[in-house]
Amino acid sequence: MRLTKLNRLINTQILQGGMGVGVSFWKLPRAVALRGQAGTVSGTGAALVVPRLLQEGDKDGSIARAKAAFPIPELAQMVWDRYYHEDGIVQNKQYKSIPMPDHEPKELKRALLIFSSFAAVYLAKEGHKGLIGINLLEKLQAPHLYEALGAMLADVDFFAVGAGIGDQFPKMIDDFYRLEVASYNIDVKSGDGYDPGTYEMTFDPKTVISRQDFQRLGIEKPPCLFIVSTPLAAKAILRGMKGVLPDGFVVEGDRAGGHNARPRGDFPLNDRGEPVYNLEKKDNPDYEYFRDLGLPFWIAGESCSPEALQRALDLGACGVQIGTAFSFSRESGILLEIKQRSVRDGLDGKYDVYTSLTASPTGYPFKMVMRKGTLWELKVYEDRIRICDIGYLREAFWKKDKNGNKTIGWRCSSEPIEDYLGKGGQIEKTVGSVCVCNGLMATIGLGQYRKNEGRREPQLITSGDDIRFLQHLQDKLGPDGLYGAGDVIDYVLGLAA
């Protein structure tokens, strides 16, 4: 059954990148799939988007449709009862808190993760038979068991896993497909004299759905693609899978948006303080290696053009993955005014992106659009009062509890500095560390209101470096100053008039 979906995917030339938080929630991937290409929901942060949309009153009724289709009604009802506001949230009122991911999630958090992941995939697949996948960042480990199950309950067509070595995913997917207990080992940093290690999280899907109800859904097993930057990462995944071949790869270059892989070894910085990649040697993506593996692969980063697609096909790839061009499109979840400004700045030559080594608490390089009024601007960054109340980028660490027993704590380099240091964090990691979670939520119009500051959270905009595609799409701009996802597809496939 997995091969049925994989064969359809292999014959797809364009994968839409799964962009979080909420940039590709469901409207964008659905639009891409309707045009015969592969749409990708961002699973990362879906459980942040759903409860805030519910508090906004579920204005388009989409979450209600997902709730009606969800095969575990009591879980959906739990989420609905906690967060739904029929009349929407009052202006300048804070959103309700959302339980932060950890190694021992309570019932509400599990329900929220499972239902939100289902909702995003279900809505993206609603009313058509096109391909819809889900993207998850391996580094954000604690929610994976529940996000994966939710996506599978919606019959997701594929997984795309990046930002880490995701070799645990295929077995987890297989266990859930057989409705057996699944596990995921999360990384735990050293602390209180304990060496770094792992903690095994487990979840039995039969605690929420019976085998009979699960089989009645007629789910097909989804394949899993791994997003890597070099053969080194691919080899690590191959070793971890112990002889079982992956379903395929997305080979992503350093010019892609969001999180990038770090350059290997020691690396220089350019005159702006950005990492310099040695693409001829140690950071070489070596597409020939992936071709010779005989596995499907797609090329990402600076890939939005007919020429890039043809080059990928000539190198033996199935096609390309495209993110930034879709993120500017009418269907993406980014606020309208941000997209309009991005298109204008790009066409006027005023659009610039900075690759920061310090912004993301994950430790991965992170692309930030250099725009005043956002978290890129030093004054905005310094004026913001540090708080960690979403917690998706926290790291686990060993500690002793009040009785002296070994347990797990959670910390983030962008939380209040004294709190972070009190948990054994290093002061140098706090310098330039940005609250990516809150910043990205603000960019899709769901930023938290801060009473003590009298404003909503400032935005954080991420993007790839290459925006040359705008020159070819400017004649497609509508009265709203934007183009559609279909225009991107037409351009890359050479179908544009």
Does this model's pTM top 0.85? My answer is yes
Give the model confidence (pLDDT) of 244-264 as tens digits.
Answer: 788 999 999 888 888 888 888
CA 180/CA 203 separation, integer angstroms: 9
Give the model confidence (pLDDT) of 262-313 as tens digits.
Answer: 888 888 999 999 898 888 888 888 999 999 999 999 999 888 999 999 999 9
Q: Does residue 444 form part of some domain?
A: no
Q: Does residue 389 form part of some domain?
A: no
φ, ψ dihedrals at 182, nearest 5° = -110, 155
Q: Does residue 377 form part of some domain?
A: no
Q: Are 115 and 24 in contact (CB under 8 A)?
A: no
State how many domains the chain has.
1
Domain extent at residue 22: 2-334+469-492
Q: Does residue 84 form part of some domain?
A: yes
Q: Single out the residue of 122, 114, 45, 123 nearest to residue 75, CA to CA.
A: 114
Take residue 163 and report the two structure tokens written for it. 């930002």
- Give residue 497's pLDDT band: very low, low, confident or very high (50, 70, 90): low
Bridge partners of 131, per DSSP, are: none
CA 390/CA 378 separation, integer angstroms: 22
CATH number of residue 119's parent domain: 3.20.20
DSSP structure string for 308-371? HHHHHHHTT-SEEEE-HHHHTSTTSSS-HHHHHHHHHHHHTT---EEEESSSSTTSS-EEEE--
Percent of the chain with pLDDT over 70: 99
For residues 71-92, give the mean pLDDT. 94
Q: Does residue 206 form part of some domain?
A: yes
Per-residue pLDDT at 2 exceeds 70: no
Q: Does residue 144 form part of some domain?
A: yes
Q: Are 460 and 375 in contact (CB under 8 A)?
A: yes
Q: Does residue 29 form part of some domain?
A: yes
The answer to whether the bond into 79 is cis (omega within 30° of 0) is: no
Per-residue pLDDT at 448 exceeds 60: yes
Give the model confidence (pLDDT) of 468-484 as tens digits.
Answer: 999 999 999 999 999 99
- pLDDT in the model for residue 496: 62
- pLDDT in the model for residue 251: 94
Q: Does residue 339 form part of some domain?
A: no
